[in-house]
Amino acid sequence: MTAQSIKVRSILVGKPKIIGETRNPVKSGIYKYNVSEKVYLSKVNFDGDEQADLKNHGGPDKAICVYSSEHYPYWESILQQQMMDGAFGENLTLEGITETDIYIGDRFQLGEAIVEVSQPRRPCFKLGIKWNEPKLAQYVQDTGYSGFYLRVEKEGWVTPGDPLIKTYEHPSKFSISTMNHIVYHDPDNETALERLIQLKPLASSWRKGIIKRLEKIRKAEAP
């Protein structure tokens, strides 16, 4: 495989703060800010990055949230607002690649670090709060423009401008786009669900959810 180099437009970090209406506030780390100097990437995050809801965000399987700038023009047309890097609370804003091109289990070099694709990003209601569009999470599901997460296989320093270099393409070629389609638009596809649970690099939380879905389908099919 020829190594593929993907442009990282921005590295972004942020700490939780209160967002939303005063009478109904929530705490979120969705607002991220550009890193201008080299930053250390540990097994769970970039230095300076934190999550408010550790049940649904963060942890080893969700160390880095990644989003493609290719989707920004679409969202700008829908929301009638300008998008800057970090618009979706991501840690890496990429250029020239989308969910169709990224497979579960793909590995990349990022500066000194080595990272692996672990799962799609589940859209959160806090996106809707940030952009003042309550249906935004649903729109993300409908389009499949979800972004994805990376786990960190090897820690190390990362410098702004370092590309994301693909060093290994998982042979299953099960893309983030395909997985989003199955989960949100074809959830009774047993063959596809079976393939998904066989993917060792898939985050355990997703595997457990898919196994439960299969059990539900089979129970409904039982005589």
CB 140 within 8 A of CB 25: no
In angstroms, the CA 142 to CA 108 distance is: 28
What residues does each domain of the chain span?
4-173
Mean pLDDT score of the chain: 93
pLDDT of residue 2: 62
In angstroms, the CA 147 to CA 120 distance is: 6
In angstroms, the CA 28 to CA 24 distance is: 13
Ranges of the chain with pLDDT below 50? none
Q: Which CATH number fits domain 4-173: 2.40.33.20, 2.160.20.60, 2.40.50.140, 1.20.1250.20?
A: 2.40.33.20
pLDDT of residue 66: 98
4 strand-pairing partners:
166
pLDDT of residue 29: 87
| Amino acid letter, 196 | L
Q: Give the model confidence (pLDDT) of 56-104 as tens digits.
A: 677 899 999 999 999 999 999 999 999 999 999 999 999 999 999 999 9
> What is the model's pTM?
0.94
pLDDT of residue 54: 66
In angstroms, the CA 130 to CA 57 distance is: 17
pLDDT of residue 3: 72
SS3 sequence of 53-67:
CCCCCCCHHHCEEEE
CA distances from 168 to 12, 27, 171 (A): 25, 37, 9
